[in-house]
Structure 1
Amino acid sequence: MVATTGSSVAASGRKPKPTIVLVHGAFADATGWADVIKRLSGDGYTVIAPPNPLRGVASDSAYLADFLATLTGPIVLAGHSYGGVVISNAATGNPNVKALVYIAAFAPDAGDTVYGLQNQFPGTELHEAQLDFRPWDGGVDGYVKRADFRRVFAGDLSPSAAELLWSTQRPGDVSTLQAASGEPAWRGIPSYYLVAREDKLIPAAAQRFMAARARAHTVEVKASHVAMISQSRATADLIRKAAR
């Protein structure tokens, strides 16, 4: 038996399926995409969820851009939370990226900051008082405090599931809050947005504003900030739509 190659797919008249790249945000890691990966992999997509360094907007975006440059063929790029900032910058200038998918994510314009978008509309419950700060050699990391984690981050998960997320959270360097984003890839790439109506970190009003500005195909779900976990089916469905 001869393995199917990209050329044989093209020869048969069928377009190759895009590679789907999933980017996590701060206070999380790539395992938050686990159920989404299972659903998409089951449909025959190649799905990759690389680590997001969470060290700074420019360096995180450069890291992802370099990663994307190693892939051939069409790409659908999805980001959650701060991961939306990273995909908005990393995809700029990459012709292989055919769609951007924002899952309860920041979709910044040039000059926007995470802090500014998060507080542009009322409703966020993540403030300095909800963070523990821990210095490291290159800066200061912020962790969501245990007492606030489930309420702010994962209100529709069980207490045990939220506790596991808190225990394993990957912090983001606080410099990412005030760093200005660059020219957004959504200006030239079709975009999709899943609004989490019960998000306590990025207010739903902010999500709707960003989705409308990017002219994104938008769906809404009843979900906390971790919509890719609590609403994995809806998340996978939107990514499939982008992939088609």
Structure 2
Amino acid sequence: MLAAALCGICASALTVPTAQAVSQEPTIVLVHGAFADGTSWDGVAADLRADGHHVVTPANPLRGPASDAQAIEGVLAGIDGPIVLVGHSYGGAVITNVSDPDVTALVYIAAFAPHQNEPTQLALDPIRYPGSRLLPPALAVTSTDAGLDAYVDPRYFREVFAQDVGEQTVTDMIAHQRSLALTANLEPSGPPAWATVPSWYLVAEQDRVIPPASQRAMAARMGARTSEISASHACLVSRPAAVADLIAEAADQ
């Protein structure tokens, strides 16, 4: 009888880790876009962490969707358990190209979501989706050791990128701006992760970078659970609580 009881206790103990693994909370990985760095997620990350979520904000190299996706995959490889992968702006093109079996949800925040063989630039087609102000002279070019990079001229940053963000915060955003390889938006995208992973999309209704009509078209094409917010392209900065709520919704599924 004692032996049988001990066996029963051991068997119960062995089942506990399995149950815990099934209910393991996902890690939320926030991938920033072009003309920004990880600090653009500060408000969103703070809200998510306050609610008990584990959040990671890796650096996005901004060299091109394929190589940037590989860099993010390297970060994901060091995370145990399920992952909710979130991309803002160009970060959406990056998460679209990430392949990792632990990713259980994709969340696009005013982001690019290209199909296979599409360049990100296609979503800014002025004929189909007029309205983007990400054009010269606001969009400027600089020479770097790696080649030509694009950046937003500070004189136009608030008008184009963050018209609903306070001037002091915009000054901080400009200080943290990182340039994007000029060829990145012309690189054909690979097989889209959103074809097999449940997706969420937040449309920024006042976006002056990616026209809202383009955002809606991308969200509809991938069958994303779509919400809209009256905010600029920098909605993650101007409306962090609302953005965090959508991400938490995806994490809780």
Is TM > 0.5 for Structure 1 vs Structure 2? Answer: yes
Using the size of structure 1 for normalisation, the TM-score is 0.92
Q: Give the match for residue 119 of structure 2.
A: 113
Q: Secondary structure at the match of 1:22?
A: strand
CA distance in 2, matches of 1:68, 1:113: 24
Counterpart in 1 of 2:188?
180
Asked if 2 retains the 8 angstrom alpha-carbon contact of 1:9 and 1:16, the reply is no
**Is 2:38 the counterpart of 1:59?**
no
Q: Residue 4 of structure 1 corresponds to which residue in structure 2?
A: none
Q: Structure 1 residues 189, 159: closer, same or farther in 2, change over 3 A?
A: same
Q: Of residues 78, 86, 91 in structure 1, which corresponds to 2:94?
A: 86
The one-letter code matched in structure 2 to 1:98 is T
What is the one-letter code of the residue matched to 1:133?
V
Cα deviation for residue 128 of structure 1 reads 3.2
CA drift at 1:9:
6.5
Partner of 2:247: 239
Q: How far is 1:163 from its partner?
A: 2.0
User: What do the CA deviations read for 1:12-56 (whole angstroms, capped 9, x no partner)?
Assistant: 697111000000000001111111111111121110000000112
Q: Please, which of 175, 200, 215 is the counterpart of residue 207 of structure 1?
A: 215
In the alignment, is residue 48 of structure 1 matched against residue 53 of structure 2? no
- Equivalent position of 2:174 in the other structure: 166
5+ residue gaps, structure 1: 1-6
Corresponding residue SS for 1:123: coil
Q: Give the counterpart letter for 2:83 in structure 1.
A: I
CA distance in 2, matches of 1:76, 1:142: 29
The aligned counterpart of 1:76 is 84
Distance 1:205 1:141 in 2: 27
Query: Residue in 1 aligned with 2:26?
Result: 18
Determine if contact 2:140/2:153 at 8 Å carries over to the other structure. Answer: yes
1:132 to partner: Cα distance = 2.4
The question of whether the paired residues in 1 share the 8 Å contact of 2:208 and 2:233 is answered with: yes
On the 8 A contact 2:39/2:176 being kept in 1, the answer is: no
Give, in whole Å, the separation in 2 of the partners of 1:159 and 1:13.
45
Residue correspondences, number = 236
Q: Hey, what does 2:148 align to over in structure 1?
A: 140
Where 2:88 maps in the other structure, the secondary structure is: strand
Match of 2:106?
100
* Cα distance change on mapping 1:9 and 1:32 into 2, 3 Å: farther
Letter aligned with residue 103 of structure 1: I
Q: List gaps (5 residues or longer) in structure 2.
A: 1-14
Q: Secondary structure at the match of 2:108?
A: strand
Q: 1:126 aligns with which of 134, 153, 177?
A: 134
Q: Report the alpha carbon displacement of residue 69 of structure 1 after superposing the two structures with TM.
A: 1.7
How far the C-alpha of 1:116 sits from its partner, in A, is 1.3
Cα offset for 1:150? 0.4
| TM-score after normalising by structure 2 | 0.89
